[in-house]
Structures are given as C-alpha cells and as structure tokens.
Amino acid sequence: MLERGEGSEYGTRRARPSEGRNRSKARDWPAARSVDYHEPGLDPPWVPLRDEELLRYRVRDLAVRIEGSELEPRVARLYTELEARGLRLRPPCYLGDEWFSPDGVPAIAIPFYLAHGRLKQLELHQMMEVEGGTPEWCAQLLRHECGHAFDHAYRFSSRRKWRAIFGSPDVDYEPETYRPRPYSKGFVRHLPNWYAQAHPDEDFAETFAVWLASPAEEWRERYRAWKALEKLEYVDELMREASKKPPLVRGGRRRADASKMRSTLARYYAARRKLWAQDQPGFYDADLRRIFAEAPAGHGTAAAFMRRKREAIVGVVVRWTGQRKYVVDDLARKLVERCAQLSLHAPTDEVALALDVGAYLASLVTNHLHTGRFKRSV
C-alpha cells in the first residue's frame, strides 16, 4: 500500500516521496500479450505444477494479466465508483509485485498473484495470507491506491492547504514503524492498523478511500464531531475540482511490472520473507527462562507445548496486533526452536502458560512495530 520509489525488482519496502519522479509515457491496461492459454477454458501450463516446481518459474513467464481474471470486474467496480462520484480519471491498473501506486505516476499496481487462483494458493502457502484476496479487501486496497493515483495525477500534495491539513509529505516515509494512536479522531479508519497515521500521504489515501466508498451523508454522519471530518470535506472539495479538469500528470514508468520481472518466484518469496533482520542468538533467552521452567515439571518440554499451542496463540496475536500472520508465525517458530535449544520445560499450569506466551509474543510484535526492529510490510 505504499507509494513507492525506485527499488529492487520485488521492491524496497519504504519509499520517500521525493524519490524517482519520472515522466515517460505509460500504456493503459489491458496490455496483455496474446498467449493462447488466455482462451476460455485453457489453463496456463504451470497450474498443475507442485509448489517447488512452480517456484522455479520467472514471474514474467507466468504471463498473467488482469483481463479475464477475477481482478477485471474488481477494477471495473472501482471505475464505476469513480464515475458515480463524477470523476473522469480512471487510473490504469497493472500487475506489479505488490500493492502500490508508483511515485508520481497516476497508476495502480496490483500484486500479480491475485490474477490467478493457483498463484493465490502459492501466496497463501508462502506468506500465510493473501492481501486483497477477497472482493471486499481488494476493493478497499484499490480505493486506497486510487487515492495516491489521484494525488499523483493532480499533484494535490504540493499545495499549501493540503500540507496544512495532512502534514508535509516530505517527512520520513516509514510506514512500517509508525506509532499509531488508536483513539485518535483526527484520522479516518479504513485499512487496519490505523494506517492513515503512517504518513501524510497514507492519511490522504485513506481519507480518499472513505470518501469514495460511501455517500457524503454517510461519512458526514460517521465522522460527525471528528477532526477527520475536516480532511474528508477537503478531499470532497479537491474531487469536485478534479471532476472538472484534466489531470496534470497522465503517465509515467510502471515500476515492478510483473510482465518484465525476471526473478523467479522462489527469489521473489525469499526477498519478501526476509523482512526483518534482527536475529541475535540469545535475544529471547532471558524472557523464555522466565516463562518456562528449567527443570522437568511433568508437562513435557517447552518446545512441545509451543508446537501444540502455536497455531492458536499466533491466531490471537495476529487478531489483536494486526501484524502479518507469517511474521508472527515466524517469530513463534523461532521461539520454539530456542526453547528446544535451551532445553526448557513446560510448567504445570497450561492456561497461565498460554496466556504468558501470548502476551509475550504480542508485546514483542507491538514493540517491534514501534522500534522498527520488526518490520511491518503494508
């Protein structure tokens, strides 16, 4: 969901708005290659492959496209929403390596794995969740990216009033490590994790998304007496203006275009999973020794307990922290491993132990979200 500047093929995770403005002309989708398996009823040759085989494929060789996929009606729905609000600009969508709007370009990148059920399945196996995989989730993300695209098209964020309302877009762009205030009424709520608080650009995109998703009387009612209402009214004012005039920027280079990505799926996933580097051995030892027992207590080993409860504990932590499931699960796996290395044991009270481990994991995740040790990737 980031706006993104130049990065590796599968993407850097942060961008600074000042990076990588570019001016070249882009094509509009559908820009699909004519591959015969796009004929109705024909599956791509990689569909029956096992994961290990599929991972050897280069992304561009998958030859997936929006047209004919389940994304096509979802993009069409976005365009219908824009039309209903009187807007004429239809930001072109293309398949990229993740959700983003290229910096300075009025376009929307949708992750390529959403263009085919088999790739969504692989994504689920690799990352444990599929961001934007359901119609409603996809619609939310499309509206959010569309907000960035409109800002890029009309350069609204360069205006003094925009900056007075949302803040300077030139502040450091670190949406993975922002420190949200859950009760703030200064921000709309659309994507999870109070994402509007991540950066002024995200605040604008989220406000736009709320504006687009519901009629004015609805958001005026929902945000009555909220400071965020001022932002919604300003977006309303800007979009009235946009409905009457052509965009200042029309094209630009489409970064991380899936049809050009030479990396294999294996490399792509390896890069995405390597999101947090901190991994000093012994980092968790003192805490684990406090939670578990050093001597056998008749309830088996700590590692066995963790293996048994991992799924349930991870589920609860994900639910309340909003952190990525694979990230929490990776951390839980590390703790299991460390428990085994330290030969720790489970104390008697299993309920208290599960609570302890859950609270510990949640505190690690939340603390890391704030300190940046434990990157959130959205």
Binding site for Zn ion (CB under 5 A): 1, 202, 205
- Of the candidates 85, 62, 231, the one whose C-alpha atom is nearest the C-alpha of residue 146 is 85
Task: Give the separation between CA 142 and CA 153, rounded to whole angstroms.
Answer: 16
Nearer to Zn ion, 123 or 202 (CB): 202
Instruction: Output the six-digit token pair for 20.
Output: 């990588």
Nearer to Zn ion, 55 or 82 (CB): 82
Closest contact distance (angstroms) between CB of 6 and Zn ion is: 17
Nearer to Zn ion, 16 or 60 (CB): 16
Task: Give the separation between CA 199 and CA 151, rounded to whole angstroms.
Answer: 14
Task: Give the separation between CA 370 and CA 311, rounded to whole angstroms.
Answer: 24
Task: Give the separation between CA 88 and CA 92, rounded to whole angstroms.
Answer: 12
Task: Give the separation between CA 178 and CA 106, rounded to whole angstroms.
Answer: 25
Q: Rounded to a whole number, what is the distance in angstroms from the first to the last CA of the chain?
A: 5
- Centre a 10 Å sphere on the Cβ of residue 18 and count the other Cβ atoms it contains: 12
Closest contact distance (angstroms) between CB of 1 and Zn ion is: 4
Instruction: Output the six-digit token pair for 105.
Output: 């370009």
Nearer to Zn ion, 261 or 378 (CB): 378
CB 377 within 8 A of CB 326: no
Closest contact distance (angstroms) between CB of 101 and Zn ion is: 7
Q: Which residue minimizes CB distance to Zn ion?
A: 1
Nearer to Zn ion, 16 or 38 (CB): 16
Burial 348-368 (b: 16+ CB within 10 A, else e): eeeeebbebbbebbbebbbeb
Residues 6+ apart with CB under 8 A from 142: 74, 75, 78, 93, 108, 110
Nearer to Zn ion, 145 or 257 (CB): 145
Nearer to Zn ion, 1 or 188 (CB): 1
Closest contact distance (angstroms) between CB of 205 and Zn ion is: 5
Closest contact distance (angstroms) between CB of 287 and Zn ion is: 34
Closest contact distance (angstroms) between CB of 141 and Zn ion is: 9
Closest contact distance (angstroms) between CB of 161 and Zn ion is: 21
Q: Is 352 helix (H, G, I), strand (E, B) or coil?
A: helix
